Amino acid sequence: MSASIAEVEEMARKCRVEIVKMVYRAQAGHPGGSLSEIDLLAALYATRMRVRPDEPKWSDRDRFILSKGHASPGMYAVLAEMGFISHEDLKSYRVLGGVCQGHVDMKWCPGVDFSAGSLGMGLSFGMGCAVAARLDKSDRRAFVMIGDGEMQEGSVWEAAMAAAHHELGNLKVILDRNRIQNDDFCEAQMRMFDIPAKWRSFGWNVKEIDGHNMAEIMDGLDFLEADENSNGPSILIAHTIKGGGISYMENNPAFHGAAPNDEQYKQAMIELGEVEA
C-alpha cells in the first residue's frame, strides 16, 4: 500500500514490457487496451487492493473484475508483478494448457476473479460481489474495469441502474476511456455523447482524470475510496491513450487486436528502455 508514485510508474513500465512480449510471442492478442489500462491497474493493485497473492482465494479479499477481458495481457503482467503468478507463467499466454488464457479466466489463473471475454458482463458480476459483501457485513470492495466501447452493450446500463438503486457504495468502476474499439474510433462506431452526464444521471458518483498521470490516478483512486462517496456506486472516468507508451501503437485502431512484427517489437523494447537504440 505504500508504493510511491515513482515505484508504481516503474511497475507500469515493466508491465508494458511484458504486455508487448506476450502479444509478440503469441502473435495474437490485444496490446492497445492493455497499454491504455496499465497505469490504472498498476496503481490499483500496488496501492489499494486488499489481496493476498499467496492466498488468492482468501474470502474477504477485494475483488477485481476486468470486464474488458480481452485486455488480459495487462492484467497478467500486474498479477505477475504482484506475485499471484510467475513471470514464467506469462509465456503461457494463449498457449494450450496455459494459466494465461486468451481472455482472463477465474478457472485458469490465480488472482482472476471473473471469467471475462464477452463485453457488458463484468459490471453485473461486480454488483453481485458487492451485494454479497454487504450481506456478509464485510468492508471488502468490488472494483470493475470497463471499456468505453463496452458501454455500447445495453447490459452495462441494466447494471448501472441496478447498482445505484441498491446504493452499492462498495462497487467502484474504472472506465478506460481510450476512444478506440475493434473496428475504428468509438466516435465513428457509436457516438456516446456526454459520458460523465450519463453516469451522473444514473445516480453514480463521477470523477474524470488523466489515466496516464500517476498523481491524478492516485487522486482518482482516493475519490473511489472516499467515505463521502460510500452512499452509492462510483465511477472514475480515466482518459487514456490506446496503445499508450508505444509510439506506433498510440491512437492507432490497427493495434486494438494485432501483434507487433520483429522490427516493431525491437522498437517497442527501445522505447520502453529495455534495450539501447
Partner 1 sequence: MTRMAATRDGYGQALLDLADNPKVVVLEADLGKSTKSLHFRKAHPERTVSCGIGEQNMLLVGAGMAASGYIPFASTFAIFTERAFEQMRNGVARPNLAVHLCGSHGGTHTGTDGSSAQSIEDLAVFRTLPNVVVMHPCDDVSTRALTMQLADTNSPSYMRTARNKTPVMYDDAAEGTIQIGKGVQLKEGTDVAIIACGVMVSESIKAAEALAAEGVSAAVIDMHTLKPLDGDLIDSLVSRCGALVTAEDHNVIGGLGSAVAEHLVANTFAPLEMVGVPDRFGESGQADEMLEVMNISSPYIAVAARKAISRK
Strand bridging mode 171-177 / 142-147: parallel
Segment interacting with partner 1, rule: CB under 8 A, options 11-19, 25-33, 74-82, 101-109: 101-109
Rounded to the nearest whole angstrom, what is the least distance from the CB of residue 222 to partner 1 in the complex? 25
Nearer to partner 1, 43 or 163 (CB): 163
For residues 153 and 118, the answer to whether their CB atoms sit within 8 Å is no
Nearer to partner 1, 130 or 146 (CB): 130
- Cα dist. 62→25, 75, 143 in Å? 32, 15, 8
d(CA 259, CA 28): 5
Of 53, 98, 110, 128, the residue at the interface with partner 1 (CB under 8 A) is: 128
Q: Is residue 89 within the footprint of partner 1 (CB under 8 A)?
A: no
| Grid coordinates belonging to 53 | 497473492
Q: Is residue 51 within the footprint of partner 1 (CB under 8 A)?
A: no
d(CA 1, CA 18): 23
Q: Is residue 130 within the footprint of partner 1 (CB under 8 A)?
A: yes
**E-only strand ranges, the chain:** 63-66, 142-147, 171-177, 205-210, 234-239
Of 47, 101, 115, 181, the residue at the interface with partner 1 (CB under 8 A) is: 115
Segment interacting with partner 1, rule: CB under 8 A, options 82-90, 162-170, 235-243, 244-252: 162-170
d(CA 275, CA 277): 6
Q: Please identify which residue in the block is written with the cell numbers 475493434.
A: 182
SS3 85: coil
Burial 39-68 (b: 16+ CB within 10 A, else e): bbbbbbbbbbbebeeeebeeeebbbbbbbb
Segment interacting with partner 1, rule: CB under 8 A, options 41-49, 105-113, 191-199, 235-243: 105-113
Q: Is residue 118 within the footprint of partner 1 (CB under 8 A)?
A: yes
Segment interacting with partner 1, rule: CB under 8 A, options 8-16, 90-98, 160-168, 190-198: 160-168
Q: Is residue 87 within the footprint of partner 1 (CB under 8 A)?
A: no
Segment interacting with partner 1, rule: CB under 8 A, options 78-86, 122-130, 218-226, 246-254: 122-130
Q: Is residue 275 within the footprint of partner 1 (CB under 8 A)?
A: no
DSSP element (H, E) containing 269: helix 262-271
Of 126, 211, 243, 253, the residue at the interface with partner 1 (CB under 8 A) is: 126
Q: Is residue 133 within the footprint of partner 1 (CB under 8 A)?
A: yes
Nearer to partner 1, 107 or 191 (CB): 107
For residues 241 and 251, the answer to whether their CB atoms sit within 8 Å is yes
d(CA 190, CA 211): 22
Contact residues toward partner 1 (CB under 8 A) are: 59, 63, 105-107, 113-115, 117-118, 120-121, 124-133, 135-136, 142, 154-155, 158-159, 161-162, 165-166
